[in-house]
């Protein structure tokens, strides 16, 4: 039996001091669900990614300037925004940025844009043992609470059924994991405060173990 250990971090907001502690968890690969920077600068990102010696898969967050996409394309990581990649029994699909916020952050998308991206990605998605969506914004109604309000994306919620696991972030106060309609959702909480998730994937569909950790 071969377990795959994924470290999920997000919401670093330019605070990279905990990276070595995260990597001491010895993941097989790392997923970064956005907000690497706090409105830039993006030129610090390649050095951060070079410190990670296992494969890294990244989507930008709403606080990352859009020119981070060019930086990620030229980096040692794989930018998953608007794309899909299969690694054996795992297929990773990504969408970065977020649905609209009240704050006018650099990388926001309309629900129509999110739907267009996901429609394109899922229309030719082949079912694998583990189909994972790496997103910054959460689907509506899933670990997306700010006070009493749910601020996740309705379009993401609509397309969630194509995946077994959604690795989201964005909402710092709603870290945790849950299951909705047979889909597991995880928000590791802000890595800037030492929070992360370790996800273990087994050989069978839905053999997914999630631990929410702090280092």
pLDDT of residue 15: 98
Q: CB within 8 A of 192, min separation 6: which ones? A: 11, 12, 13, 14, 15, 18
What CA–CA distance (Å, rounded) separates 159 from 93? 12
Nearest C-alpha neighbor of 6 from the set 28, 33, 24: 28
189-206 confidence digits (pLDDT tens): 999 999 999 999 999 999
Span 128-149, average pLDDT: 98
Give percent of the chain above pLDDT 90. Answer: 99
Span 34-38, average pLDDT: 98
Top-tier CATH class for 4-214: alpha beta
The chain-wide mean pLDDT, for the chain, equals 97
Nearest C-alpha neighbor of 94 from the set 159, 174, 17: 159
Span 180-189, average pLDDT: 97
Question: What is the pairing mode between strands 149-150 and 145-146?
Answer: antiparallel
Measured from the Cβ of residue 23, the count of other Cβ atoms closer than 10 Å reads: 17
Is residue 186's pLDDT more than 80?
A: yes
Q: CB within 8 A of 206, min separation 6: which ones? A: 164, 182
Token look-up 């898969």 returns 57
Give percent of the chain above pLDDT 70. Answer: 100
Question: What is the pairing mode between strands 208-214 and 195-201?
Answer: antiparallel
The H or E element containing residue 159 is: helix 154-159
Q: CB within 8 A of 49, min separation 6: which ones? A: 56, 58, 75, 76, 77
153-163 confidence digits (pLDDT tens): 999 999 999 99
Is residue 95's pLDDT more than 90?
A: yes
Specify whether the backbone of 141 is left (phi greater than 0), alpha (psi in -120 to 50) or beta: left
pLDDT of residue 12: 98
pLDDT of residue 2: 84
Span 128-150, average pLDDT: 97
96-118 confidence digits (pLDDT tens): 999 999 999 999 999 999 999 99
Tokens of 131: 């189909």
What CA–CA distance (Å, rounded) separates 138 from 93? 14
Is residue 1's pLDDT more than 80?
A: no
pLDDT of residue 135: 98
What CA–CA distance (Å, rounded) separates 159 from 117? 10
Specify whether the backbone of 11 is left (phi greater than 0), alpha (psi in -120 to 50) or beta: left
């Amino acid at each position: 039996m071969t377990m795959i250990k994924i470290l999920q971090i997000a919401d670093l907001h330019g605070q990279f001091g905990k990276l070595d502690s995260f990597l001491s968890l010895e993941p097989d690969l790392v997923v970064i669900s956005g907000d690497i920077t706090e409105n830039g600068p993006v030129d610090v990102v390649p050095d951060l990614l070079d410190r990670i010696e296992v494969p890294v898969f990244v989507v930008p967050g709403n606080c990352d300037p859009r020119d981070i996409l060019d930086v990620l394309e030229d980096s040692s990581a794989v930018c998953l925004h608007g794309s899909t990649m299969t690694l054996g029994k795992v297929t990773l699909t990504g969408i970065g940025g977020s649905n609209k916020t009240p704050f006018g952050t650099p990388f926001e998308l309309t629900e129509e844009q999110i739907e267009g991206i996901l429609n394109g990605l899922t229309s030719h998605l082949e079912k694998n043992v583990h189909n994972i969506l790496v997103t910054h914004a959460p689907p509506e109604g899933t670990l997306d609470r700010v006070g009493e309000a749910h601020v996740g994306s309705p379009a993401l919620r609509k397309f969630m059924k194509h995946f077994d696991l959604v690795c989201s972030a964005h909402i710092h106060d709603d870290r945790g994991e849950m299951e909705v309609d047979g889909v597991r959702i995880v928000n590791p909480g802000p890595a800037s405060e030492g929070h992360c998730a370790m996800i273990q994937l087994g050989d069978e569909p839905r053999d997914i173990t999630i631990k929410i950790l702090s280092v």
